[in-house]
Amino acid sequence: MRRIADWLEHRTGIESAVRSFLYEEIPASSNWRQVFGSVAVFLFLTQVFTGILLSFNYAPTPGDAYNSVRYIVAELTGGRLIRGLHHWGASMLIVVVVLHMVQVFLYGAYKKPREATWMVGVVLLLLTLAYGLTGYLLPWDNRAYWGTVVTTQIAGKAPLLGPYVSRLLGSGGEIGVVTFARFYALHVLLLPPATLLLIGAHIYLVRKHGVAPLPGDEALPRKKFFPGQVFRDTVAIFIAFAILFTLAVAARVPLERIADPTDTSYIPRPEWYFLFLFQTLKWFEGPLEVVGAVVLPGLAVAALILVPFIDRGRAVRVTRRTAAFTAVTLAGVTWTGLTVAAVATTPKPVTPVQIDFSEPTDWMHLSPEELAGIGYFRGEACATCHNLVEGKAKVGPDLALAAPRKSAAEMIAHFQNPAQVVPGTAMPAVQLTGPQLNALAAFLLKLTPRNAAALQAAPEFAVTGAMVYQANRCGACHQVNGMGMRIGPPLNGLARRRDAAWVEQHFREPQKLSPGTIMPPYRFTPAEMKALSAYLFTLPE
């Protein structure tokens, strides 16, 4: 072992390189406050790692992109976790990079001779934001699409350069395959090497000038980086990682509907860290638009880069840096205010429930009768004795395999009087009304071994909604998924036409909203109303 190490050291000098890196001398005041840089590097490398893993199963073209992300989270073991790590890692990276910057700013660690370190840092912050912008598009769901529409439009607003930037991003007015290719290339081919290079330069500069000392450090003996500071960095990295991992497991990253340029009901919002910019945009109208979109952000970035040249005073104790504290507080308050305003003014979405499209959505294409059948199947606890497909052996037969061989009439006779149809069966009679039995049979007829698990995943609100729909015989006038009468308007695509408040009021007072309609008023319980309108709004087009 020793001989191999000696050989390596002699031929490459790696051991002494590591040694000189670890045993670098740092000021006596070095402390927990210096951990943010290491955490940022760690989070960046984690993003590289999870990003590469995602790219192993990702197709960077519209349409396929969406399907491959769905494949990753729904069909690959651990795929949802990896996507979660990448998604939340991006947010955490921004938080940590900003904390790092605030710490350096408050302590005035950018002062001579560390101006270049600071400026490289500002560029790294911008790169981090650029990942967010370009990565947003890649899942190609509605959120991705509309977020990018706004981004490219803003880029197009830049004075003089606007049209060129817009062309560079591949969005000559519209978003399509070219935009997608550009964003993907930026996100995975251009930005990562650029970031690695600049991180290298940043760390090189930190090492060259040494960690910034505090006033008074000169008199104290210097410490070694290893193991004390490495321990602090490790603990901080571990805490950050634990938070990231918890978020990735506990906070599901939904996949929305596939990108739909015609969806006028969609309310686009950027990631949380861009909300303040988004809110700023709202306040500059007409010809002033360019001020909010380009001029103000541009000035802010310029001011950040020039910080070491604006503040050229001698280094003083951090407690005396009132101006710096005031600046950070002001920036913090402004940012929070803008973000809160942006959140507060976001209209409630038309669809009251959010559907995770990475789950099977086969249930959406069932008729209301079949979907209600799932409700009766659950309500009658059929699953205590039956599997839908193969599973642990139960008393009754597996339904997806057995049911399709019977007719609805046979099944209903069997439900009502099991022993008469199958002598000797232990199955108790099902206590449902005629229409409910029809629904149950309709669902069972729809079952195949292929769709059983997907149908079983139908969300509770939709099933309840369909049961309310059936119980009130809505299908006598309306059509859903091609089933029912066409006396009233078909209900598919309702989300495009109306919002939840309108629909709920229309149930209570149809005459008021649609004078002359033959639809009678309905008195639903709040729970029924909620389930029914949520169900109607999730109907596919």
Partner 1 sequence: MPVENRRTFLLGAIYGLWGLIAAALGIPASVYLLLPPKARQDDEWVEAGDIAALKPGEPAEIVFRRNRRDGWKITSQKSTVWVVKTGQRDVAAYAPQCTHLGCAYHWDDRRREFLCPCHSSSFGLDGRVLSGPAPRPLDRYEVRVENNKLLLGRVRQSGGGGA
Per CB under 8 A, residues contacting partner 1 are 46, 49, 53, 56-57, 59, 64, 67-68, 70-71, 74-79, 81-82, 85, 227-228, 230-231, 234-235, 237-238, 241, 245, 449-451, 453-454
CB 369 within 8 A of CB 442: yes
CB 69 to partner 1: min, Å = 8
Per this entry, what is the length of the chain?
541
CB 56 → partner 1: shortest distance, Å? Answer: 7
**Cβ atoms of 35 and 232 closer than 8 Å:** yes
Is the Cβ of residue 24 or residue 289 nearer to partner 1 in the bound state? Answer: 24
C-alpha atoms less than 13 angstroms from C-alpha of 112 in its C-beta half-sphere: 6
Token pair in block for residue 275: 């909300």
Q: Which is nearer to partner 1, 250 or 409 (CB)?
A: 250
Nearest approach, Cβ of residue 388 and partner 1 (Å): 12
Q: Which is nearer to partner 1, 85 or 437 (CB)?
A: 85
Residue 197 Cβ, how far from partner 1 at the closest point, in Å?
Answer: 24
76-96 core/surface letters (b: 16 or more CB in 10 A; e: else):
eeebbebbbbbbbbbbbbbbb
Contact 214/30 with Cβ under 8 angstroms?
Answer: no
Nearer to partner 1, 205 or 399 (CB): 399
- Tell me whether residue 58 or residue 107 sits nearer to partner 1 (CB atom): 58
| DSSP codes joined into one string, 15-26 | HHHHHHHHT-EE
Could you tell me the smallest distance in angstroms from the CB atom of residue 50 to partner 1?
8
Q: Least distance (Å) from partner 1 to the CB of residue 293?
A: 36
- First vs last C-alpha separation in the chain: 68
Q: How far is the CB of 226 from partner 1 (least distance, A)?
A: 9
- Minimum distance from residue 55 beta carbon to partner 1 (Å): 12
Amino acid at 325: F
Q: Which is nearer to partner 1, 254 or 360 (CB)?
A: 360
CB of 241: closest distance to partner 1 in angstroms?
A: 5
State which H helix or E strand residue 224 sits in.
strand 223-224
CA distances from 275 to 363, 461, 466 (A): 35, 31, 37
Least Å distance, CB 95 to partner 1, is: 19
CA atoms within 13 A on the CB side of 272: 12
What count of other Cβ atoms lies within 10 Å of the Cβ of residue 530? Answer: 19
Q: How far is the CB of 94 from partner 1 (least distance, A)?
A: 20
- Please spell the DSSP secondary structure of 297-333, one letter per residue: HHHHHHHHHHHHHH--SPP--GGG-HHHHHHHHHHHH
Q: Which residues contact 7 (CB under 8 A, 6 or more apart)?
A: none
65's tokens: 């992109």
Name the residue nearer to partner 1 (CB basis): 74 or 364: 74
Q: How many CA atoms lie within 13 A of 56 on its CB side?
A: 9
CB 252 within 8 A of CB 88: no
Distances (CA, A) of 219 to 206, 222, 300, 319: 21, 9, 38, 20
Q: What is d(CA 16, CA 26) in angstroms, rounded to the nearest whole number?
A: 18
